[in-house]
Amino acid sequence: MQSKTKKLLAALIAAGIVPAAHAADIKLGVAEALSGGAAQYGVSIRNGFQLAADEINAAGGINGNKLVLVVEDEQGKKEEAINVFKKLIFKDNVLMVFGPTLSNSAQAADPIAQAAKTVAFGTSNTADGITSIGNYVFRNSVTEADVLPATISTVKAKTGLKNVAVLYGNDDVFTKSGYDNFKKALEDQKIPVTTTETFAKGDVDFKAQLTKIKGTNPDAIVLSALLAEGAPIMVQARQLGLNVPVIGGNGMNSVKIFDLAPGGASNNLWIGSPWSIENKAPENVKFIDAYKAKFNGSPDQFAAQSYDAMYIVAQALKNTKITGELPKDRAALRDALPSVTWTGATGAFKFRQANDRAGKPAGYDADQAPIVSVTKDGKYVI
Ligand code: PYR
């Protein structure tokens, strides 16, 4: 179809003159944690996708075709992520899959998408190695490797810290990768570690590790945790009188920390992210206002990244000829994605090619710089 004709059709659909049913639907899978501890992230992520898809459809869809989201709860568990990926790819025949929420699940489920030559697009996976799975794996979440050195150097410059204690979850792909990257950044920046302590998923009492940490009198605690464990760690640290800065990774970067660690326990938490609610760029202001109007609450970084991801895919789809032949359309979308650039809620975005373990080109990471902020009285401030 000529592009003028396409535009006319899109306008006629948007105006309700041509029913959208006459155009083909574009089915996109959304596999996120909508229950369990990781739903702290997954629900925001689903909201971001829904908001962007509704906006895109209201503006005429993709060359007249409507985006239809097929949403599944992968519960933040890798076995469920595998099941949900299989359902979306082989039964629902979606064009691509967004998710899953955690790197721990992505490492298990993304190989299924790769083998089926279907794009898996993570918006919240920040561990090392996810995009080395293959050339169908994309993410717009900025990796721990890119964020943590900047977070550490900013806290060092602003607080003058001389040493840190380290606490991390040793049974999760993300928290383990966060630890590896924290360790490297601390070595590179010549910051001594007073002690290194660990915990496991599902732990609720962290007093033994925190008491040991307190005994080493650190200037800050470096914490690689998901919210389910990270929030009680902050509460118990403050109860023990450990009021030093806590330096977290992506897992601690959520406004939910203010509910889960109330009464000031969440103060002095430092994180890095390309997104900030304080950023007054017009794209971000538009996103924040639209999110508040639709969901009656403030967005977080997880919603911003899924919102932008949907627009990034929409840009690729606009340059893709959808034929109705699924393998061909899935491959065409993959080929169109790497060159997409987009300025959205998280600012200017482009992809950066990642390598596999043998050093050969594989999937695509986010090429974005983080902004470091600190929590103060229920807010992230820059
Ligand atoms: C991850 O699992 O990768 C997160 O950043 C939460």
Question: What is the model's pLDDT at position 262?
Answer: 95
Q: Whose CA is nearest to atom 3 of ligand 1?
A: 125
What is the 3-state composition of the chain as percent helix, strand, coil, each rounded to the nearest 5? 45, 20, 35
pLDDT digits (tens, 9 = 90+) for 268-300: 999 999 999 889 999 999 999 999 999 999 999
Question: What is the model's pLDDT at position 63?
Answer: 92
Report how far ligand 1's centroid is from the alpha carbon of 10 (Å).
Answer: 37
Strand order in the sheet with 193-199: 193-199, 164-169, 221-224, 246-248, 269-273, 371-376, 379-381
Show the tokens assigned to 269.
């938490």
Q: In 3-state terms, what secondary structure has residue 296?
A: coil
- 88 secondary structure, DSSP code: I
Question: What is the model's pLDDT at position 1?
Answer: 46
The answer to whether the CB of 97 falls within 8 A of the CB of 89 is yes
Give yes or no for residue 363 CB within 6 A of ligand 1. no
Mutating to test ligand 1, I would choose from 40, 44, 102 the residue with most ligand atoms within 8 A of its C-beta, which is 102
Report how far ligand 1's centroid is from the alpha carbon of 58 (Å).
Answer: 31
Q: Whose CA is nearest to atom 6 of ligand 1?
A: 251
Report how far ligand 1's centroid is from the alpha carbon of 227 (Å).
Answer: 10
- Name the stretches of the chain with pLDDT < 70: 1-23
Question: What is the model's pLDDT at position 104?
Answer: 98
Compute φ and ψ for 120, nearest 5 degrees.
Answer: -110, 120
Q: Which ranges constitute the DSSP H helices of the chain?
A: 3-14, 39-58, 78-86, 103-115, 144-159, 173-188, 207-215, 227-239, 257-260, 282-295, 301-318, 326-336
ipTM tops the 0.95 cut:
yes
Mutating to test ligand 1, I would choose from 123, 126, 172 the residue with most ligand atoms within 8 A of its C-beta, which is 126
Q: What distance in Å separates the CA atoms of residue 378 and residue 259, rounded to the nearest whole number?
A: 9
Question: What is the model's pLDDT at position 24?
Answer: 85
Atom of ligand 1 nearest to the CA of 130: 3
Give yes or no for residue 125 CB within 6 A of ligand 1. yes
Give yes or no for residue 253 CB within 6 A of ligand 1. no
Helix H or strand E encompassing 34: none
Question: What is the model's pLDDT at position 17?
Answer: 56
Question: What is the model's pLDDT at position 382?
Answer: 85
